[in-house]
Homo-oligomer: A and B are copies of this chain.
Amino acid sequence: MAVYTEVFDDDVSAFLADYDIGRLRVLKGIAEGVENSNYLLITDQAPYILTLYERRVDPADLPFFLGLLRHLAARGLPCPQPVPGRDGEPLRTLGGRPAALVTFLEGAWARRPEVSHCAQLGDALARLHLAGLDYPLRRANSLALAGWHGLFEAVREAADGVIPGLRALVETELAFLDAHWPAGLPAGVIHADLFPDNVFFLDGTLSGVIDFYFACNDFLAYDLAVCLNAWCFEGEREFNATKAHHMISRYQKHRPLSDAEFAALPLLARGAALRFLLTRLYDWLHTPPGALVRPKDPQEYVHKLRFHQAIGGAGAYGVTR
């Protein structure tokens, strides 16, 4: 729900003068994307998405993100394409912020994902992982295990005030993950935030993947674990193993999981649950009154973490070796 930076007419006119994309017809703030300011910008030639990168995005990472979009699209993944200015450079400045135009993707995200959506998501995720294997730039995952410790330091004292018992839950979980986090799993470029609102469908068919601003290098199977949490629960607590089965099976049609990845899935899912639990908790505590973004309830991810803690193995995800 995000328009943090309001852009001014003359700034937009000056910005568009550096492109060869026609005259401005429509400029509308979009209530999607939590980290940046997004506008629908339509010229007399085509529609675009204009993104102004806000403080949470490190400008040094922007070449990684924009280059990745080009790289993935060239390999057939339906994702937005950065539109370069006349000088060939897609990364520019608007309203004092780094800004970029990308192509507009048709489709709508699945507000209630069903099995067919989950299956297609598994398909697209594997294609994304394979397409990213030869991407030359690298970006560390700042929200991996070390980052979770850092986040927790910032919320430790306040955690129990949000959810009683949360501090002990997270302390125990972090210690467990420190001791058991896997090493040596197949790694590459992951999306790292592939929630339903980042995937578009058109007439029931996946038509686009957006919002790569958490993309980084990490274990590929961790990305699948993020998706299990984001797509396969219903009403926060109920895990739909049929959806997980179809997601993982379709993923494996393109890239079969190794035994080590399969065995590590529950652990990765615990880590993925903890990651979103901690960022939601942090945002819950740090969102000022009157902010434009409504913080999401961390409780949802407490339920998800507990689910993965309780299962006996990856068989609970509806798949077998």
Interface positions of A (Cβ within 8 A of B): 1-3, 6-10, 12, 23-32, 40, 42, 106-108, 110-112, 202-203, 287, 289-295
Q: Which applies to chain A's interface (DSSP): helix, strand, loop or mixed?
A: loop
- Given pairs A1-B29, A1-B31, A291-B294, 16 additional interface contacts (CB within 8 A): A3-B31, A7-B111, A8-B111, A9-B111, A9-B112, A12-B108, A25-B202, A26-B107, A26-B108, A27-B108, A28-B31, A29-B30, A30-B31, A42-B106, A289-B290, A290-B294
A264 to B231, alpha carbons, bound, how many Å? 60
Kindly list the 7 A-B residue pairs having the minimum CB-CB distance in the complex, ordered from nearest.
Answer: A29-B31, A27-B108, A289-B289, A31-B31, A8-B111, A3-B31, A290-B294
- Which residues does chain B contribute within 8 Å of A287, judged by CB atoms? 289-290
Q: Quick one: which of B1, B106, B203 contacts A292, CB cutoff 8 A? A: B1
A87 to B185, alpha carbons, bound, how many Å? 59
A25 to B42, alpha carbons, bound, how many Å? 16
Instruction: Contact check, A23 vs B111: say whether CB atoms are below 8 A apart.
Output: no
- Which residues does chain B contribute within 8 Å of A290, judged by CB atoms? 287, 289, 291, 294-295
A111 to B27, alpha carbons, bound, how many Å? 11
Instruction: Contact check, A292 vs B295: say whether CB atoms are below 8 A apart.
Output: no
A106 to B26, alpha carbons, bound, how many Å? 5
A68 to B91, alpha carbons, bound, how many Å? 44
| Contact of A32 with B28 at beta-carbon distance under 8 Å, contacts A7-B111, A290-B291, A294-B292 already known | yes
A112 CB to nearest chain B CB (Å): 5
Indicate the member of A7, A25, A27, A31 with the most B CB atoms within 10 Å: A31
- Which residues does chain B contribute within 8 Å of A294, judged by CB atoms? 290-292
A117 CB to nearest chain B CB (Å): 9
A17 to B219, alpha carbons, bound, how many Å? 44
A242 CB to nearest chain B CB (Å): 18
9 pairs from A and B in contact (CB 8 Å cutoff): A1-B29, A8-B111, A8-B112, A26-B107, A26-B108, A28-B108, A29-B32, A287-B289, A291-B294
